Amino acid sequence: MTRYVLSRLGQSLLLLVGVSIIGFGLMHLAPGGPFAIYTLNPTVTAQDIERVKHQFGLDQPVYVQYAKWAFGLATGQWGYSFFGGRPVSSIVLERLPATFELMGSSLALALIIGVAIGVIAAVRRNSWIDYTTTTAAMIALSLPTFWFGLLAIYLFAQTLGWLPAGGIASTGGGGLMDRLQHLLLPMLVLAFVIVAQWSRYTRSAMLDILDQDFMRTARAKGLRPARVLVGYGLRAALVPLVTLAGLQLPLLVGGALVTETVFSWPGMGLLFVNALGTRDYPVLMAILMVGALVVVLGNLLADILAALIDPRIKLGHV
């Protein structure tokens, strides 16, 4: 098992290197050039730019530039924001908890509901329950999340006034109840699409499993239906589902961005969109890298979890 974890860790590191290379390449595409990011001095004058160019810039070979940049990335020296001059790492990291709060709660809720719906649809294959949930799921994941969010705000916040229209808490800070009220709508909106996707994935995975021999054996042993379905069926489905969760992460992070924008949720996504407006490249690049990091780590976690559930994986059998 340790060997497997180490090998996956190694692969993840390689991925991160690749990610940083792509990031570096993207940076060169940005107008203002690469040395824009190297600005360590918050107050940038033309002289400073010349000096910086000289210090970090174009007179050095590309791979040295890359090495310096990548090193900075890895050690948390992400430069300074173009506007306000605060260190990018502080700006981004202080937004991280809010994004995780949103992503985490949505994912948890969505997985529970989505998997449950998928299992029911698979067990009652081709019944009206199956058809309605499958069709509803398809429509649900065709909804533009931002539009759905706007409608939700209009309905629940503006018209009915049940829930706040945005933000993470009322001004002046709020108690737990207040924060939950603010979390509810964005969480549900983000979870909505995830529920739709997961119900389909689970249904598909369960359909494959319900036909397997070991399910018949479980029934032949006279085990209780709940044990057969969950203990035997869902357990077998867990592995493809966990792996899928990892692959879904980019969409989850992207979805979080959309949801944060619409609900003015002070997370990384909203920061990204605001930084876009001001073309604050250091911030944009940092968030892009963090986003990719979350995806890589998430996939690593998912793979390790899968190997824990299915011991054949680390042997390379499956």
Partner 1 sequence: MSDVLLAEIATVAPSGRAHVLRRFLRHRLALLGVIVIAFLGFVAASAPWLAPYDPDEIAIAQRYSPPLSEGRLLGADDLGRDVETRLMYAGRISLSVGISAMLVTLVVGFAVGAFAAYLGGWIDTLLMRLTDVMLCFPSVFLLLFVAAFVTPSLSTIALMIGLTCWMEIARIVHAQILALKSADFIAAARMAGAPAWRIVLRQILPNTLAPILVAATLNTANAILLESYISFLGYGIQPPQASWGNMLTNAQSDFQVDPWLAVFPGLAITLAVASFNFIGDGLRDALDPRVRD
Partner 2 sequence: MTALLDVRNLSVAFGGTLAVDGVSFGLAEKETLGLVGESGCGKSTTALALMGLLHGARVEGVARFGAQDLLGLDERRMRRARGAKIAMIFQDPGTALHPLIRVGEQVADVMRAHLGISAAEARGRALDLFRKVGIAAPEQRLRAYPHELSGGMCQRVMIAAAIACSPRLLLADEPTTALDVTVQAQILELIREVSGAAGMAVILITHDLGVVAGMADRVAVMYAGRIVETAATDRLFASPAHPYSQGLLGSVPKLDAGWEEELATIPGSVQGASHEGGCRFAPRCPLAGDICRRDPPLEEIADGHFVACWKAA
Q: Which residues bind partner 1 (CB under 8 A)?
A: 14-15, 18-19, 21-22, 26, 29-31, 126, 135, 138-139, 141-144, 146-148, 150-151, 153-154, 158, 207, 250-251, 253-254, 257-258, 261-262, 272-273, 276, 279, 284-285, 287-288, 291-292, 295-296, 299
Cβ closest to partner 2, residue 90 vs residue 217 = 217
Q: How many CB atoms lie within 10 A of CB 201?
A: 19
Cβ closest to partner 1, residue 38 vs residue 272 = 272
CA angle 132, 136, 139 (to 5 degrees): 145
217 part of the interface to partner 2, by CB under 8 A: yes
The CA distance from 121 to 132, in Å, is 9
Cβ proximity of 236 and 296 under 8 Å: no
Cβ closest to partner 2, residue 88 vs residue 228 = 228
The CA distance from 147 to 128, in Å, is 29
Dihedral (CA of 278, 101, 12, 74) sign:
positive
Residue 310 binding result from partner 1, partner 2, none, given CB thresholds of 5 to 8 Å by partner type: partner 2
221 part of the interface to partner 2, by CB under 8 A: yes
Residue 172 binding result from partner 2, partner 1, none, given CB thresholds of 5 to 8 Å by partner type: none
- For residue 102, what are its two tokens? 């949103």
232 part of the interface to partner 2, by CB under 8 A: yes
The CA distance from 182 to 188, in Å, is 11
Cβ proximity of 111 and 198 under 8 Å: yes
SS3 content of the chain, % helix, strand, coil (to 5): 75, 0, 25
Residue 10 binding result from partner 1, partner 2, none, given CB thresholds of 5 to 8 Å by partner type: none
Least Å from the CB of residue 235 to partner 2: 6
Cβ closest to partner 1, residue 223 vs residue 240 = 240
Cβ closest to partner 2, residue 51 vs residue 312 = 312
Encoded amino acid at 291, one letter? G
The CA distance from 191 to 256, in Å, is 10
277 part of the interface to partner 2, by CB under 8 A: no
219 part of the interface to partner 2, by CB under 8 A: yes
Least Å from the CB of residue 284 to partner 1: 6
124 part of the interface to partner 2, by CB under 8 A: no
The single residue among 227, 230, 251, 254 that binds partner 2, judged by CB under 8 A, is 227
Alpha carbons within 13 A on the beta-carbon side of 167: 12
The CA distance from 156 to 152, in Å, is 6
The CA distance from 231 to 243, in Å, is 19
The single residue among 218, 249, 262, 294 that binds partner 2, judged by CB under 8 A, is 218
Binding site for partner 2 (CB under 8 A): 212-214, 216-225, 227, 231-232, 235-236, 239, 309-312, 315, 317
